Structure 1
């Protein structure tokens, strides 16, 4: 098992990609703290891991709440004595053209993605610097590299995560901390399923056309990236043995973006 005895905290891990990563980490031997805004969802995911023979802790965490993030990370360390992996995965989406976009909605998307990632990073680094180092991982997107219409706050936030990841790689190196960012194409999660009718309305096309001509248009095979694809990469990045791989963005998008 590639993550045996390591301790990980993953935000937004109650469902979707985050839950798939949490379950995969547990199968690889990690003790996993499942953090989510919805406490019931977090507990459900943690219980599933425990039922499968893994170790898991549920954390109710609003990633935009400084005290909640600090307290959640401290609880992980108090429970298991260390923190090896912190994965900033929590995110939201808002579909709207820039000329109609309210500042409130811009700030909400930026806060969850960027403020949330910063707060987790800071809390994790304080423990990692005091210990044996560790790994920071971020959930970026192809939209960390390029833009799409109707997604300005999301695109800006994902670009920002790329910068944060690189800053952590530079600052953390002397403390044994690595950081990398995963940049998926479209993954068929509830977040993406919600976007399909929203984009269809905004663009005046069918939902099938959104999938074929917007979401998957630039892939090499017309396929969605899967949570299994992302989970496999998440394990590889967490388990990588040296700082030879740090500050990097790894794109998994069926060729949508080739960097």
Structure 2
């Protein structure tokens, strides 16, 4: 028996990296998945790959920081499948600067994608979830939802904020049968992280090998990167839970970095 049979999921940032891995894992468990991404060609290619495997998926063009885009994307999902059971708020970017040099426009862009995007997609999905009396929202936070690192002020701020949003949605959604939780990955070698390695090396005056060993993985128990599949399994754990007791929680998937 597949864990998510007949359920409909929306995954933002679903065309690549963590989002693709999460969407693929959910589709393999029987979910019909909306692949929402800023890049429509990327979303179309990913959805086509899934359909080629006999899975159910549809591409959705969505800039999560734009309310009209979000509302239209969720409406398209509802028009296709008539419901939305699961939202995985994953879309994100990374920009690194020290605080004193961080351009305000880039600060605002980071918060718009990570926090505004989570809020707007949540708002749009809660209405049909409340009407159905069920739903599950999983925010993709980070170990940086609990800790901080240099050069990442807006990212750390936004990821901390997701914990507060998840807890609030868990409280408000309880009477409607809606749960909200946060998965907090460590470093995963997605294109987003690969881009950071040389950027941090330049900013910190280190080699790329030192950034990996002494910055990214220094607080793990085994010096290992988290994988996209690790994160997808954690999302599936929350999405497939058969109890409303599991809500308002955060789960670190990080090889021991950021132990609570």
Gaps spanning 5+ residues in structure 1: where? Answer: none
Aligned partner of 2:155 in structure 1 is: 154
Aligned partner of 2:234 in structure 1 is: 233
Q: Could you report, residue by residue, the CA deviation over 1:94-115 in whole angstroms, capped at 9, with x for unpaired residues?
A: 1100010111010000000000
Name the count of aligned residue pairs.
Answer: 259
Distance 2:46 2:235 in 1: 18
Aligned partner of 2:17 in structure 1 is: 16
Aligned partner of 1:134 in structure 2 is: 135
Which 4+ runs in 1 deviate beyond 2 A? none
Residue 217 of structure 2 is aligned to residue 247 of structure 1: no
- Shift in Å, 1:242: 1.3
- Shift in Å, 1:132: 2.8
1:195-234 matches, cutoff 5 A: 195-234=196-235
- Shift in Å, 1:172: 0.2
TM-score by length of 2: 0.99
1:108-127 matches, cutoff 5 A: 108-127=109-128
Gaps spanning 5+ residues in structure 2: where? Answer: none
Q: Could you report, residue by residue, the CA deviation over 1:111-145 in whole angstroms, capped at 9, with x for unpaired residues?
A: 00000000000000011111131001100000000
CA-based RMSD of the aligned residues comes to 0.5
Aligned partner of 1:185 in structure 2 is: 186
1:45-56 matches, cutoff 5 A: 45-56=46-57
Q: Could you report, residue by residue, the CA deviation over 1:74-95 in whole angstroms, capped at 9, with x for unpaired residues?
A: 1111111111001110001111
Aligned partner of 1:95 in structure 2 is: 96
TM-score by length of 1: 0.99
Helix, strand or coil for the counterpart of 1:35? strand
